[in-house]
Structure 1
Amino acid sequence: MLIHILINQVIMLTPAQFFKCLSDDTRLRCITLLQKEGKLCVCELTAALDLSQPKISRHLAPLRQCGLLQDSREGQWVYYRINPKLPDWAFPILESALLAADKSGQFNKDLERLHNRQCSPEAAACG
């Protein structure tokens, strides 16, 4: 399990921990969608990546544990977003990953599924 330490409200995350967290394709797909959209709930990620809820949750857990993601509860929904307290060096890397992903067919399919999904927390159709 990766552990992060808060010093002056900035997460002390080593580059090795950062890249290890992103080394899985599903986790990287989640991160790039979150980087693009700002915040998403599990059901939105499930629809976008066309994967089961348990699989998405299993991949979000290490991203949260290493400090890359923050979660927040809004009513019955739990939303995830990129942690704004990451070290400064992490943000240009995430932005570069998004720019690279934006050119890939997989990312565009994920984004299309996200925007065409039937479920939505606002419509209370997610489950």
Structure 2
Amino acid sequence: MSNVELLPVLDSSVVVPCCPPLTERPLDAEEAERAAKMFKALGDPVRLRLFSAVASHEGGEACVCDISDVGVSQPTVSHHLKKLKEAGLLSSERRGTWVYYRVEPSVVAAMGKLLAGAATV
């Protein structure tokens, strides 16, 4: 498995791994840093709810206006969405006055691959 950094890709059938499965070998420092960045972003309950809202939204993308009811102010929602984007978990596109977010399928697949081996141990 190569040490390729997890990046969003246009072809959602391509998985760009951040790291090998946890049961394959110990992560090196760079791999652990990349994986920790993703999990740290998801470690906040509001961010996890926002990520889930986007991932489960019809069509695979959600307008910020559709997902902002998570019990915090709109500026706080924007802050959390920014953190999810910085971690590579979401991508966004501005359409008029609204921003639409989507979960990159390759990111979810790579996170699943990282954890998949651990589930069988």
Unaligned runs of 5+ in 2: 10-15, 20-33, 115-121
After superposing on structure 2, the runs of 4+ consecutive aligned residues of structure 1 that deviate more than 6 Å are none
Q: Percent identity?
A: 36
Match of 2:102 among 78, 81, 86: 81
Taking structure 1 as the reference length, what is the TM-score of the superposition? 0.57
Match of 1:18 among 33, 38, 51: 38
The structure with more strand, counted as a fraction of residues: 1
- Alignment RMSD, CA only? 2.9
Counterpart check, 1:33 vs 2:53: yes
- Seen in structure 2, the aligned counterparts of structure 1 residues 23 and 82 have a Cα distance that, compared at 3 Å, is same
Whether the 8 Å contact between 1:42 and 1:53 is mirrored in structure 2 is no
Unaligned runs of 5+ in 1: 94-127
Distance 2:106 2:5 in 1: 11
Distance 2:17 2:63 in 1: 23
Number of equivalent positions? 89
What letter corresponds to residue 85 of structure 2 in structure 1? R
Q: Secondary structure at the match of 2:109?
A: coil
Paired position in structure 1 for 2:91: 70
Taking structure 2 as the reference length, what is the TM-score of the superposition? 0.60
